[in-house]
Amino acid sequence: MFSVANIKMKIWLSKNSEVPVREQITTQITLGIASGDLAVGTRLPSTREIAQRFKIHSNTVSNAYQILAEQGWLEFRKGSGFYVRESNPEQFANSLDQLIAQFVGAAQTQGFSTAEIQERLAHFFNSQQSKQLFVIESDLELRKILIEEISETAKLEVRGASFEDFEQNISKLGANFAAMFDEKAKISAVLPADKSCVFLKARSAAASMTGETRPTENDLIAVVSGWENFLVLAKIMLVAARIEPESLLVRSTAEANWRKGLHAASMVICDSLTAKNLAELKNVRTFRLIAEESLIELANLSEI
């Protein structure tokens, strides 16, 4: 915490936050000006003063001040430093800065202090991050399918990342994580102690085929997906169920004209993502990859 220019506005900086220090500085000064805690003509502390107080590089502070000057919040006076300038309403028309000023002004009219506004804003953004779910899977096509299945069930903002991205960057986010169960050892080895990951169980073949009528030997069965392993696994399962290989039509959505002949099939087996692109067909059977119990676990997570 640092008192700015001996007035009532204070700056809080955290070097352990996901938010860059430069952004922390610009946001708090913007809020201070918008709220009136930093009056027009107020001289801000020097870049060296703030840098020494928080043990950060002076260039970081200087860059933040320059950004605020470019946005019209501050002005630089040679030999003296940066001062809060009188805002030009036209300059901020329809801008994010104007919206911030309006929000802070309305909140203060209701009796909330600047500290309370900052605290609630931080809580809001943290709660939004807790509604994010990153699916960790390096196979892009499989990742797309997993994201689709989870999005249909859980009220979460579902994104995806490779294991490499997770290890280098994504694990630092205040979000939820999920990955297939066979990735548990690899992910657990690099998962930060304060983070957790839901390891998803795969749906069994029996569960996927429950309630389905067994096709006759004369039926043509199509297997369609953009994930190569789905095509392989589905074909193996169907052959194991004594479906003749000659009765199978296997199509990858990566191929040209992959839809050709699907209308003639008595059954089209596909993943949940491909099923969205085959809504016009009535004979589609979706084979889901994630077990029901794992989807329920994620659904419960979204309610927390």
Query: Residues 250, 223: contact at Cβ < 8 Å?
Result: yes
Domain residue limits at 180: 130-203+295-302
Q: Averaged over 270-298, what is the pLDDT?
A: 90
Judge if 118 and 156 occupy the same domain. Answer: no
Judge if 7 and 82 occupy the same domain. Answer: yes
The predicted structure's pLDDT at residue 304: 52
Judge if 14 and 94 occupy the same domain. Answer: yes
Judge if 178 and 221 occupy the same domain. Answer: no
Which of 1-5, 49-53, 184-188 is least confident?
1-5
Which of 75-79, 90-94, 175-179 is least confident?
90-94
Two tokens at 132? 């994010």
CB neighbour list of residue 94: distance below 8 Å, 6 or more residues apart? none
Which of 14-28, 115-129, 187-201 is least confident?
115-129
Judge if 198 and 213 occupy the same domain. Answer: no
The predicted structure's pLDDT at residue 129: 47
Judge if 110 and 19 occupy the same domain. Answer: yes
What are the beta bridge partners of residue 197? Answer: 177
| Domain total of the chain | 3
Q: Averaged over 192-221, what is the pLDDT?
A: 75
Judge if 8 and 111 occupy the same domain. Answer: yes
| DSSP per-residue string spanning 153-217 | H--SEEEEE-HHHHHHTGGGSS-EEEEEGGGHHHHHTT--TT--EEEEPBPPHHHHHTTPPPPPT
Looking at 123, 143, 169, which one is the last position of a domain? 123
The predicted structure's pLDDT at residue 157: 84
Looking at 94, 123, 152, which one is the last position of a domain? 123
- Highest mean pLDDT (candidates 26-40, 123-137, 165-179, 250-264): 250-264
The predicted structure's pLDDT at residue 89: 46
Judge if 119 and 165 occupy the same domain. Answer: no
Judge if 216 and 173 occupy the same domain. Answer: no
Place of tokens 């084979």: 287
Judge if 193 and 250 occupy the same domain. Answer: no
Judge if 9 and 114 occupy the same domain. Answer: yes
Percentage of residues in the chain having pLDDT higher than 90: 32
Looking at 76, 97, 123, which one is the last position of a domain? 123
- Domain harbouring 6, CATH code: 1.10.10.10
Two tokens at 106? 């309305």
User: Has residue 63 got a pLDDT over 60?
Assistant: yes
Judge if 17 and 102 occupy the same domain. Answer: yes
The predicted structure's pLDDT at residue 214: 62
Query: Residues 156, 197: contact at Cβ < 8 Å?
Result: no
pTM of the model: 0.57
